[in-house]
Amino acid sequence: MTEIELVRWIRARGKGIGDDCAVLPGGLIVTTDMFIEDVHFRRGEPPALLGHRALARGLSDIAAMGGVPRWCLLSLAVPEWAKPAWVKRFFTGLLDLAKRYRTQLVGGDTSHAKQATADIVVIGSDGGLLRSGARPGDGIYVSGVLGGVPKKFEPRIALGRFLRNRATACMDITDGLSLDLHRLCTESRAAAVLDRPLPVAHGATLEKALHWGEDYELLFTAREEPPRSHRGVPITRVGTIVRGPAGRIEFFGRPHTPRGYDHLGSHA
């Protein structure tokens, strides 16, 4: 059994896995995201910034579903080097962001580990924008710019709300446009053509804009042309959904092999 087969095996047994959040009856959406030292961050980074990012990753999943974040829970395992002052600053960064998005910390768990390890759970309402709704003819769009290294990224909650009934499919870019578009197309059983200039971040390469895994911008498809920006966040059309083998991507006329950061496969 390869790692890819394993992921398929797991997914086949868990209903709803494949979107950014699980959708519960009643319209609640739930997401969980791990944030691990030496995998997602380094020990020396400012703890308040890490707390911000830990929660922002979860909020980004809620944004990708077009939902409203409501509650969060934090599981945090700290190593010996992380003193109480570090933990307090981590929580301060997390709670500052939670407050801005009216997301209430309602619980969690604490433990210890060799690597600092956070797992954030965010529960939202009114989500329902899926990865699987893209249809041939839909435009493909991304928010913001790609390939940059925003240390303190802002989850696209407002844009997600705007897209809730306007986009046909949506997800956040966490493993690179290339791999994430491949996933969106696979879920939608369609193919994609990327034939327009990407919004490359200042100083970044096209390569990085295609494959960088920490953008947290929204990737979405829509039948109607959206505005060129929403509340100051640029929206750029990068291509079109087409008929074809599920998940196939063509980049400026040539077949494109999706790659990017595969979390389970990366240590294989």
User: Which residues bind to its own copies, rule: CB under 8 A?
Assistant: 1-3, 5-7, 9-10, 13-17, 21-24, 26, 28, 30-34, 36, 38-40, 70-71, 73, 75, 77-80, 84-85, 87-88, 91, 95, 104-115, 117, 119, 121, 123, 263-264, 266-267
Could you tell me the smallest distance in angstroms from the CB atom of residue 3 to its own copies? 6
Could you tell me the smallest distance in angstroms from the CB atom of residue 64 to its own copies? 13
The widest CA-to-CA distance across the chain, in whole angstroms, is 55
C-beta of residue 143 within 8 angstroms of C-beta of residue 234? yes
In this complex, which beta carbon is closest to its own copies, that of residue 73 or of residue 200? 73
Which residues on adjacent β-strands are paired with residue 14? none
In this complex, which beta carbon is closest to its own copies, that of residue 32 or of residue 46? 32
Could you tell me the smallest distance in angstroms from the CB atom of residue 26 to its own copies? 8
- Pairing state of beta strands 117-125 and 169-172? unpaired
List the one residue out of 124, 129, 249, 237 whose CA is nearest residue 181. 249
Residue 20 in tokens = 């950014």
Phi and psi (nearest 5°) for 244? 155, 180
C-beta of residue 56 within 8 angstroms of C-beta of residue 216? yes
Distances (CA, A) of 107 to 75, 119, 122, 191, 211: 8, 12, 11, 41, 35
How far apart CA 56 and CA 38 sit, in angstroms, is 18
Could you tell me the smallest distance in angstroms from the CB atom of residue 121 to its own copies? 5
In this complex, which beta carbon is closest to its own copies, that of residue 195 or of residue 262? 262
Could you tell me the smallest distance in angstroms from the CB atom of residue 55 to its own copies? 13
C-beta of residue 67 within 8 angstroms of C-beta of residue 124? yes
In this complex, which beta carbon is closest to its own copies, that of residue 64 or of residue 249? 64
In this complex, which beta carbon is closest to its own copies, that of residue 1 or of residue 203? 1
In this complex, which beta carbon is closest to its own copies, that of residue 7 or of residue 158? 7
Could you tell me the smallest distance in angstroms from the CB atom of residue 133 to its own copies? 18
Cβ-based neighbours of 5, under 8 Å, separated by 6 or more: none
